[in-house]
């Protein structure tokens, strides 16, 4: 075997002996592995894959097509056989001659960046045959015609998961990087990798959740989430943080920001250079941020109405009381933006004008199109989630995290797993990935209300979402609003966000598409001068036309949003210190709720 730089490593008897010694350490680690797997609490099998009926329908449709058009099936099979034989013949010729033909110019794949995938006949054959198999599977799935659109989308998604899972880079014997490192380190990389694997399994009660970041490198409130502030109110649902002013005067109307409770709020305050929270205070605003509970089984019966009553409505009232104002400007991010929409409908029906304007970050309100989540929002999966929720009382963070990760499995599952378990590398000290792994559990009742009533039934834009004695509807959202969406967002696709905003009742709407994705498109400070954004005041057209006719602006959308917000934030008043006589400072930001780790 040659190394990636083309050199042949020297393997002596001494190296072999040390390699054997390292391999003996596997026995001890194997015992730990057996113990943790034996103690694993089983979860509902429906969480691991679609109902077999999907594959049965696909197989029926495939063979029906083959029966009607056998020539098509034979053409596909002959093409597959031909490529497989050619791959083998080329490998044989290369082994005999010692020469390998140049690549065919296929699209680069980072998984196969090691030169040995090209220069070594064995690895070249493995790569080529894998790519041939992958093409055959995609071709077979594409040829299935007599399936409903959702079933076809799900079949395409799950077949791609199989393709990605079976990549040769995922297996030691067919991964030249891992094999090279094993020889170079005399097997120590494999020992370290097994230690990483066992450690991850032990940390998650036997569930395989790949650790993405070095957790020892970060401390919430220490080197991340450090913008000065105080918790000024606390109840069973949330802590309300008021941030200290950074200017001598502030706008009269305060901002209350509601982050998603699927994750923790400090994504908006990772470090000073990219902290939206810090930046807002520097623009002269009194900013409050909600930090939600991390649910456990005692929160099983908490529903969407509790988030609205004890979260949104309570926070708004407490902010009004502290700042001695009648209105606030509200911001909702992701699921909190969806719930802010529900809250605004409720306030409209009650005749309450406490919210002066609303800003939505990557917010879905119309779930008629489910995008990349379609594979997971059908009854087989949701039924499985409900069964698990009924057992645990909560929707556990690892289930949510795993689902999100499988939408980007190459980057968030397989590549990190290879580096950690086969290469024995320590995960990087990356604050964003640390935050990504610091998830939150969801109350069981709330999770099912959201999945059934909003995601599946789409009640909010149809006949109305029944909650708190009201039938909440999207047309009731009539305050001045701005929606910030992200061009490559795979969680809340901007086109679907756009459909929702179009149906809102407000006469004053602004819609923005930022470059990049669900996080980077929002956490996009002006100082970075990185991602631009699109604007277009005409919201009557379809989404594609809107973008085609939109104006592109270099740089962050933050200053544009602040200019819009300034017009709705009143006069300047002396900067407010945190809390008041009725709202003592309970503890410094980022508070205590954010420190609670999710149950495994």
Phi, psi of 239 (to 5 degrees): -110, 135
pLDDT for the residue numbered 106: 60
- How many Cβ atoms are within 10 Å of 74's Cβ, its own excluded? 11
Contact between 125 and 90 under an 8 Å Cβ cutoff? The reply is: yes
Inform me whether the pLDDT recorded for 232 exceeds 90.
Answer: yes
Give the tens place of pLDDT for each residue, 294-326. 999 999 999 999 999 999 999 999 999 999 999
Domain with CATH 3.40.50.1820 in the chain: 229-377+440-595
d(CA 155, CA 55) in angstroms, rounded, equals 8
Q: What's the token pair of residue 70?
A: 């056998």
d(CA 237, CA 224) in angstroms, rounded, equals 23
Give the tens place of pLDDT for each residue, 183-215. 888 888 989 999 999 998 888 888 888 999 999
CA angle, corner 123, sides to 121 and 126, nearest 5? 105
Contact between 360 and 337 under an 8 Å Cβ cutoff? The reply is: yes
557 or 106, which is more confident:
557
Contact between 19 and 186 under an 8 Å Cβ cutoff? The reply is: yes
From 213, 272, 277, select the one nearest 439 (Cα to Cα).
213
Phi, psi of 232 (to 5 degrees): -115, -5
**Three-state secondary structure string covering 326-384:** CCEEEEEECHHHHHHHHHHHHHHHHCCCCEEEEEEECCCCCCCCCHHHHHHCCHHHHHH
Contact between 589 and 291 under an 8 Å Cβ cutoff? The reply is: no
Active site residue 486: no
Domain 229-377+440-595, what fold? Answer: Rossmann fold (3.40.50)
Inform me whether the pLDDT recorded for 595 exceeds 70.
Answer: yes
56 or 331, which is more confident:
331
Please give the average per-residue pLDDT across 9-24, as a whole number. Answer: 67
Please give the average per-residue pLDDT across 129-154, as a whole number. Answer: 88
Cis bond before residue 495 (omega within 30° of 0): no
- Torsion (CA) 359, 360, 365, 368 in degrees, nearest 10: 130
Q: Which of 334, 455, 497, 587 is catalytic?
A: 334
The dihedral sign for the CA sequence 428, 431, 432, 438: positive
- The pLDDT > 70 percentage for the chain reads 91
Instruction: Kindly give the pairing relationship between strand 533-535 and strand 509-514.
Output: antiparallel
d(CA 513, CA 351) in angstroms, rounded, equals 32
- Alpha carbon distances (Å) from 142 to 78, 132, 424: 17, 15, 38
Q: 291 forms bridges with which residues in the sheet?
A: 239
d(CA 64, CA 289) in angstroms, rounded, equals 57
Contact between 194 and 26 under an 8 Å Cβ cutoff? The reply is: yes
């Amino acid at each position: 075997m040659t190394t990636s730089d083309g050199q042949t490593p020297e393997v002596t008897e001494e190296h072999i002996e040390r390699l054997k010694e390292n391999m003996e350490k596997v026995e001890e680690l194997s015992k730990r592995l057996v113990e943790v797997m034996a103690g694993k609490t089983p979860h509902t099998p429906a969480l691991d894959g679609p109902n077999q009926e999907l594959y049965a329908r696909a197989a029926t449709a495939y063979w029906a097509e083959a029966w009607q058009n056998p020539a098509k099936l034979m053409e596909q099979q002959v093409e597959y056989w031909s490529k497989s034989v050619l791959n083998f013949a080329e490998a044989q010729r290369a082994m005999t001659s010692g020469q390998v033909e140049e690549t065919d110019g296929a699209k680069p794949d980072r998984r196969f960046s090691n030169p040995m995938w090209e220069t070594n006949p064995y690895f070249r054959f493995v790569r080529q045959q894998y790519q041939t198999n992958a093409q055959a599977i995609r071709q077979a799935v594409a040829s299935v015609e007599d399936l409903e659109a959702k079933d076809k989308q799900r079949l395409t998604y799950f077949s791609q998961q199989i393709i990605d899972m079976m990549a040769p880079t995922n297996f030691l014997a067919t991964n030249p990087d891992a094999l090279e490192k094993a020889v170079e380190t005399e097997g120590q990389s494999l020992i370290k990798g097994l230690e990483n694997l066992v450690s991850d399994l032990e940390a998650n009660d036997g569930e395989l959740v790949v650790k993405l970041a070095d957790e020892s490198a970060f401390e919430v409130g220490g080197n991340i989430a450090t913008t000065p502030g105080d918790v000024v109110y606390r109840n069973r649902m949330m802590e309300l943080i008021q941030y200290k002013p950074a200017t001598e005067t502030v706008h009269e109307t305060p901002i209350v920001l509601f982050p998603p409770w699927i994750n923790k709020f400090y994504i908006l305050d990772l470090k000073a250079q990219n902290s939206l929270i810090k930046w807002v205070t520097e623009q002269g605003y009194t900013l409050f941020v909600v930090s939600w509970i991390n649910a456990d089984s005692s929160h099983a019966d908490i529903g969407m109405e509790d988030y609205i009553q004890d979260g949104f409505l309570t926070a708004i009232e407490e902010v009004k009381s502290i700042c001695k104002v009648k209105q606030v400007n509200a911001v909702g991010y992701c699921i909190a933006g969806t719930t802010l929409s529900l809250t605004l409908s409720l306030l409209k029906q009650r005749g309450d004008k406490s919210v002066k304007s609303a800003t939505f970050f990557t917010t879905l309100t119309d779930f008629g199109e489910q995008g990349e989540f379609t594979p997971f929002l059908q009854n087989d999966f949701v039924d499985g989630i409900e069964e698990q929720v009924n057992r645990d009382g909560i929707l556990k963070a690892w289930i949510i995290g795993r689902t999100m990760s499988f939408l980007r499995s190459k980057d968030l599952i397989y590549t990190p797993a290879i580096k950690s378990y086969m290469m024995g590398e320590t995960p990087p000290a990356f604050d964003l990935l640390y935050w990504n792994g610091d998830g939150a559990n969801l109350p069981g009742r709330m999770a099912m209300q959201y999945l059934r009533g909003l995601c599946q039934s789409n009640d909010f834009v149809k006949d109305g979402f029944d909650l708190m004695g009201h039938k909440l509807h999207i047309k009731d959202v009539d305050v001045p609003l701005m929606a910030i969406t992200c061009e490559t967002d795979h969680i809340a696709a901007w086109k679907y966000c756009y459909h929702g905003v179009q149906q809102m009742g407000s006469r004053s709407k602004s819609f923005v598409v930022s470059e990049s994705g669900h996080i980077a498109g929002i956490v996009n400070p002006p100082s970075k001068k990185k991602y631009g954004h699109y604007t277009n005041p005409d919201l009557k057209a379809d989404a594609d036309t809107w973008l085609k006719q939109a104006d592109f602006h270099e740089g962050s959308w933050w200053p544009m949003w602040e200019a819009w917000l300034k017009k709705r934030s009143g006069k300047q008043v002396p900067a407010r210190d945190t809390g008041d006589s009725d709202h003592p400072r309970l503890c410094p930001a980022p508070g205590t709720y954010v420190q609670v780790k999710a149950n495994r």
